[in-house]
Every structure is written in structure tokens, then in C-alpha cells.
Amino acid sequence: MNGRTWRYAAGAAVAVVVGAGVITAIAVGVATAAPHQAPLAARPAGTVVIGGKTYPHATLSIATYPDSMFGLRGAGGGAHPDWVSYSNDNLVVPANTAVTVTVRQYDSGGSLNNAYFGHVVGTVGGTEAVDGKTVRSVPADEVGHTFTLRAIATDAPPLYLNVPLPAVAGNAPNSVHIGYGDYPTPNIVTFTFLTKGPGTYQWNCEYPCGNSVAGFGGAMSTYGYMSGTLTVK
């Protein structure tokens, strides 16, 4: 090969290496653009009998806040201290287990875009308990947030959950201090669902609680506030 051929070959090689580098940088950037919080794993809690069958039992406790001042993002509440938020966006639960989730719901609310998400879907018995009272649905105009979960296609066995979290009265006085925020007495919602095999699920809120774009901007359109993953291991 003469000098010119070498130069061409070297140019082609450099182009391939630089191109691969750019693509790798984009892939790494995308993969790390949505950093999750530290995983919150469900705690084992013996066994439970559901429909005559015994399942391993685990419990998980999360919360929904009217702001981001509950401590996770520091004294200032992070970049958007006034955005509504879930306490954790990285939930981990065991496979083939009955998982009982407790949600402390500190936020006020309003009307859903779709009344369907006022109904409880996919939990054991199709119910949730609100402050100890078992219900199948929450009035569609009294919802604070929802915990709505589905499988990502081809990644996990189908699993659909919709749990409406009733709103706290808008004028309720603050009585609880958590982290750097003051909140009213929460609605405590519990529900149990059965996990299947391992996989990753996506969940988000279906109440328009973001502060722009018809309620779907801000906290609803930014990772780590009104959405997250549920990893079944």
C-alpha cells in the first residue's frame, strides 16, 4: 500500500472510531439521564394466605407529598421544591410474592381526566383500604394521585395495577413535620398485589398533578417525581 492508501485507511478508521464514540456517549448519556433514587426494597413479612393459597409476604411503605421538601433533595427541596412527588421512584419487590403497599398520601387533589383511574384495578380482591376502610373506587373528583403500573412490553409478565389515592382536603391544617416540610394528616392507603416472575415495570400517576401542560408538565414530565420503576426480582 502506498502513502495515500494508508492515509485513506487511517481516515476511515478514525471516522469509525469517532462515530462509535459519539454513539456510545449518547447511549451512556441517555442511560444515566434518569438517575433513580437508591432502591427501596420490600421487607419480608412471613407468609399470607390468599384464596386458599399460601404466598410469601412482603411489605413496602411509600408516600406522596404536595412538594419535594421531605428531605430527599436536601434543605432547599432540590431544583423544584414546590413540585409534587412520590417518596421513592425505585421500588424493588420479590417475585411470586404477595406485596402489601402502604401509601401515606399528604396531598390535596381534584378531578381525574378519566374516571377509570378512580377504580382499583389489579390488587387482591380488586380493593384498597383507605384509613382502614375497604373500597373498590374513589370518587373521580377526589383523587390526589394514583399509583398506576404496567409491564413494559416483552420485558415482564403482564401486570396492571391502578390504585387511586384519595385527596386530603385542600384546607386541612398542617399537623405533621417531615424532613423540611409541614403536611396535613395523611390518607393512609394500603393494598396487596401478587407479583409474577422477574421483570421491570413502569408506574406513574394518572391524576393531572403537574403544574403545566394541562397538569402533565413539570412533576409529571420529569423523572423522579410522579413516576418510577418497580423491579421484580
Q: Applying CB under 8 A, does 157 fall inside the site for another protein?
A: no
One residue of 152, 169, 170, 174 binding another protein per CB under 8 A: 152
> Which partner in another protein, Cu ion, none is near 44 (CB below 5 to 8 A by kind)?
none
Residues numbered 77-96 forming contacts with Cu ion, rule: CB under 5 A? none
Nearer to another protein, 47 or 221 (CB): 221
Are the CB atoms for 87 and 175 separated by under 8 Å? no
Residues numbered 139-168 forming contacts with Cu ion, rule: CB under 5 A? 145
Q: Supply the minimum distance, in Å, between the C-beta of residue 151 and Cu ion.
A: 17
Q: Applying CB under 8 A, does 214 fall inside the site for another protein?
A: yes
Nearer to another protein, 180 or 216 (CB): 216
Beta carbons within 8 Å of 5's beta carbon, 6+ residues apart: none
- Nearest-angstrom CA–CA distance, 155 and 72: 30
Q: 48: which strand partners?
A: 55
Return the amino acid letter for 216: F
Task: Identify the helix (H) or strand (E) that includes residue 232.
Answer: strand 227-232
Tell me how crowded residue 78 is: count the other CB atoms within 10 A of its CB: 15
Region of residue 218 (phi > 0: left; psi between -120 and 50: alpha; otherwise: beta): left
DSSP-assigned states of every residue in 196-228: -SSEEEEEE--S--SSSTTTTSGGGGSTTTSEE
- Nearest-angstrom CA–CA distance, 104 and 226: 14
Task: Identify the helix (H) or strand (E) that includes residue 32.
Answer: helix 3-32
> Which partner in Cu ion, another protein, none is near 74 (CB below 5 to 8 A by kind)?
none
Residues numbered 83-142 forming contacts with another protein, rule: CB under 8 A? 113-114, 116, 119, 121, 126
> Which partner in another protein, Cu ion, none is near 202 (CB below 5 to 8 A by kind)?
another protein
> Which partner in Cu ion, another protein, none is near 205 (CB below 5 to 8 A by kind)?
Cu ion
Binding site for Cu ion (CB under 5 A): 145, 205, 207, 209, 226
Binding site for another protein (CB under 8 A): 4, 113-114, 116, 119, 121, 126, 148, 150, 152-153, 158, 160, 162, 202, 204, 206, 214, 216, 220-223, 227
